[in-house]
Amino acid sequence: MNIIITFPDGSKKEFASGVTPLAIAESISSKLAEAVVAARVDGQVVDLTRPLSGDVAIELIKPDNPAGFDVLRHSAEHVLATAVIRLFKGAQVTMGPRHHDEEFYYDFDIGRPFTPEDVEKIEAEMRAIVAEDQPFTREELPKEKARELFKQLGQRYKDEILDWIPEPTVTVYRNGDFTDLCRGPHLPSTGRIKAFKLIGSAGAYWRADASREMLQRISGIAFGSEKELKDHLTKLEEAKRRDHRKLGRELELFLVSERFDAHEPEPEEAIEALVTGRVHFASTPAFEWIEPTLAAIRAALPRRTVNFTGVNVSSHRDDSDRIPVLRLECFGPRLDADEQKALRALGDKLLADSRERHGTPVDLRYQHRAFEDIGPGLVLWQPKGGLVRTLMEDFWRREHLKVGYDIVYSPHIAKSDLWKVSGHLGFYRESMYSPMNIDGAEYIAKPMNCPFHVMMFKSRKRSYRDFPMRWAELGTVYRYEMAGVLHGLMRVRGFTQDDAHIFARPDQLDSEVDRLLGFVLHILRSFGFTEFNAYLSTRPAKFVGEIPDWDRAEKALAESAHRLGLKYRLDQGAGTFYGPKIDLKILDAIGREWQCSTVQLDFQLPQRFGLTFVNREGKEERPFMLHRALMGSLERFFGIMIEHYAGAFPPWLSPVQAIALPVTDRHRAHARAIVEQLRAVGLRAQVDPRNEKLGYKIREAQLQKIPFMLVIGDKEVAADGAALRLRSGEDRGLLARAALCDLLVEQCRIPGASADQVKALGIEDYALE
């Protein structure tokens, strides 16, 4: 019996029933059969070896297609697992990712971490398995049969995976000595994995749950050809070259988490004693410890002043598992051997005491203070970075004022009570810095700016005529982020949000969202980003407010994105607890995605703070509130720009725009004259006055990524001009002084919203009714 196969281009061909997609590919060309990794049959991706029956539509999938990529990488995972069970007796296999971005990985439990040597061995074993060209075979069997099978194989984790599969029948794939529970599909055989490389190993929690077993993840990359693999590695190299941490140091833009040696040993050296212990936070307030501990330490160190300086709560998992760290400072000469011994003995004693009292360990140690330390995740903006930031901020302020925002400021700390009312202490406590005690009241560093803006709203009775109110602030916030996630400027603990809160009447929702999205695009484009991905995040499982309000708000965001021609992806259930949001991610020069902008609707705060306005009928009504950030955080956005431009900022953002390079010192005076004139028209220009060869100065200017180099020698002095060299290497030749000036002014112009844009962004409701 024959069946009719329909191809994507609509053409049809007849085959014998039971034909496999692989055979079909071979009938077209052997090259295609070689390249193809899976087939889409009536919309479903299946193995190339799956026999077909009945008339179907078929599409042969190659690795250049996302589905094909997935199959390739998925098979690579199985090869990885095969290598691991061969090399490690009793290794437990768990699972790989559902979808693959760049990398593939598979998590194992071998009772210990993998070493870098293990990974090398595993990769070698994988190559052997590929060379063996083991066929992948698929088998369907009832769930209970599968349970028995994996029990026999000694694979514990598979049992748990089977628990969360609802279907009565499951599929199992085999290759060589490896059998895995797997939906598939897979390549016909391991020999088809030509280009792959293991990237490394790291710990990962079973089911991403920190309370479960720590597994060992091995990750790698796989491609359809060696060339693609090579290209990918080149891209990684390129990313490394652009790393903002490296460029930040080289260009002297910022410092983060820097530790400096202490300057001079001081006559009165300070040491710091830390007392840590695990106690039940709710039933045993850490403060009970302070007095007895202090007294004991004072007795052990009679020659020193010992002060209590605070309590840090260092674990943030949940209330019952917090670790209060008592921070004590001891001033005085460095401890001698006897004193250190005494302190250690005291530590042992405290340990024993606390075990008795709380059933938990306590640990006392001291540390000589040998460093001048800022603290992890805190940023210093050096002069050149500070200048770029100033330019970013100035631009930001000017554009905001143009389109009807007001600029506000708020303090860095506020009483705990405010954070209680706002709900942060309930929902956000784990990310907040510990309170400080001032005159008997508790204050906390702000993790967000919104409560302050809300308080300003409440300062007087509001009328429907006041709306919309758009209050923007470059507000520096502090968030306690887990130590392991900090990363250069991209993830820090103190950062400045380009925040704003828009308070408006319900009838203004659509127009405000429209204007906002338009404004976001304008700002991001001005900084040189032209490609975006938008994500609409809808109601999560845990939410506040009424469902009709949510639906309406989600619709408003979606429609607005639509009106602006912004294509968005739906992120179901990923909204914040207080409202839906739309996030914009920008694509940088090498195609990486970065989240910056977020626009969030909030039903929660106006309600918690009881915000109202008086409407046209004289009745109290609740306004809505929009939170938004465009750049997100100045620190992070700066980091992204550094990587996007590889440190070569556009001229308007370059710390130094032009540098004059006199060929010898007799050309210095003329160089100074040119620079003076450039400065007079507002350009940031400098002279390199050093007695060095021209090549040397050019090299330095080039490394500093200065956009315009002005070479000045005899010819240029005679012609009263300069020879312009661009950082691209292009030599523009001699330019007369005036022409040079005009050109540079033009090239360094600061972007800004045009009159049309301002109009589009809606200045009209500035007019009072």
Residues 207-236 that bind RNA (CB under 7 A): 208, 210, 214, 216-217, 219
Query: Does 205 help bind RNA (rule: CB under 7 A)?
Result: yes
Question: Smaller CB distance to RNA: residue 223 or 708?
Answer: 708
Neighbours of 18 (CB within 10 A): 11
Question: Residue 487 contacts by C-beta under 8 Å, 6 or more apart in sequence?
Answer: none
What pairs with residue 180 in β-bridges?
173
Q: Considering the complex, what minimum distance in angstroms separates the CB of residue 692 from RNA? A: 6
Neighbours of 111 (CB within 10 A): 10
Angle at 717 between CA 714 and CA 722, to 5 degrees: 100
CB of 734 closer than 8 Å to CB of 715: yes
Give residues 91-150 in contact with RNA (rule: CB under 7 A). 113, 115-116
Chosen residue from 171, 257, 511, 612 binding RNA by CB under 7 A = 257
Window 534-573: contact mask with RNA (x via CB under 7 A): ----------------------------------------
Give residues 724-743 in contact with RNA (rule: CB under 7 A). 725, 729, 731
Residue 109, CB-side half-sphere exposure with 13 Å CA sphere: 16
Chosen residue from 596, 626, 658, 674 binding RNA by CB under 7 A = 596
Q: Considering the complex, what minimum distance in angstroms separates the CB of residue 617 from RNA? A: 37
Question: Smaller CB distance to RNA: residue 64 or 692?
Answer: 692
DSSP 579: B
Place of tokens 């499982």: 541
Phi, psi angles (nearest 5°) of residue 466? -75, -20
CB of 418 closer than 8 Å to CB of 458: no
Q: Which two tokens stand for residue 507?
A: 């009838």
Q: In whole angstroms, what is the distance from residue 570 CA to residue 537 CA? A: 6
What pairs with residue 220 in β-bridges?
104, 198
DSSP 445: E
Chosen residue from 342, 486, 544, 758 binding RNA by CB under 7 A = 486
Q: Considering the complex, what minimum distance in angstroms separates the CB of residue 668 from RNA? A: 9
Question: Smaller CB distance to RNA: residue 308 or 535?
Answer: 535
Give residues 375-414 in contact with RNA (rule: CB under 7 A). 376-377
Window 259-298: contact mask with RNA (x via CB under 7 A): x-x---x---------------------------------
Q: Considering the complex, what minimum distance in angstroms separates the CB of residue 258 from RNA? A: 8
Bridging pattern class, strands 658-662 and 708-712: parallel
DSSP 52: P
Q: In whole angstroms, what is the distance from residue 294 CA to residue 296 CA? A: 5
Bridging pattern class, strands 441-445 and 406-407: unpaired
Phi, psi angles (nearest 5°) of residue 556? -60, -45
Query: Does 370 help bind RNA (rule: CB under 7 A)?
Result: yes
Query: Does 745 help bind RNA (rule: CB under 7 A)?
Result: no
Chosen residue from 491, 592, 608, 684 binding RNA by CB under 7 A = 491
Question: Smaller CB distance to RNA: residue 542 or 567?
Answer: 542
Query: Does 252 help bind RNA (rule: CB under 7 A)?
Result: no
Interface segment toward RNA; rule CB under 7 A; list 57-65, 292-300, 360-368, 406-414: 360-368
* DSSP assignment of 90-120: TPEE----SS-SS-EEEEEE-SSPPPHHHHH
Q: In whole angstroms, what is the distance from residue 671 CA to residue 688 CA? A: 9
Question: Smaller CB distance to RNA: residue 45 or 364?
Answer: 364
Q: Considering the complex, what minimum distance in angstroms separates the CB of residue 34 from RNA? A: 33
Query: Does 300 help bind RNA (rule: CB under 7 A)?
Result: no
CB of 108 closer than 8 Å to CB of 92: yes
Query: Does 590 help bind RNA (rule: CB under 7 A)?
Result: no
Chosen residue from 238, 345, 371, 551 binding RNA by CB under 7 A = 371
Question: Smaller CB distance to RNA: residue 52 or 256?
Answer: 256
Bridging pattern class, strands 436-438 and 441-445: antiparallel
Q: Considering the complex, what minimum distance in angstroms separates the CB of residue 666 from RNA? A: 6
Chosen residue from 314, 382, 434, 615 binding RNA by CB under 7 A = 314
CA 729 from chain centre, in angstroms, equals 34
Helix, strand or coil for residue 600?
strand
Give residues 619-658 in contact with RNA (rule: CB under 7 A). 629, 632-633, 635-636
Window 418-447: contact mask with RNA (x via CB under 7 A): -------------x----------------
CB of 744 closer than 8 Å to CB of 657: yes
Query: Does 309 help bind RNA (rule: CB under 7 A)?
Result: no
Interface segment toward RNA; rule CB under 7 A; list 199-207, 283-291, 525-533, 552-560: 199-207
Query: Does 663 help bind RNA (rule: CB under 7 A)?
Result: yes
Bridging pattern class, strands 270-277 and 214-223: unpaired
Window 701-720: contact mask with RNA (x via CB under 7 A): -xx-----x-x-xxxx----
Question: Smaller CB distance to RNA: residue 257 or 511?
Answer: 257
Question: Smaller CB distance to RNA: residue 36 or 271?
Answer: 271
Please tell me whether the peptide bond between 185 and the residue prior to it is cis, using omega within 30 degrees of 0.
yes
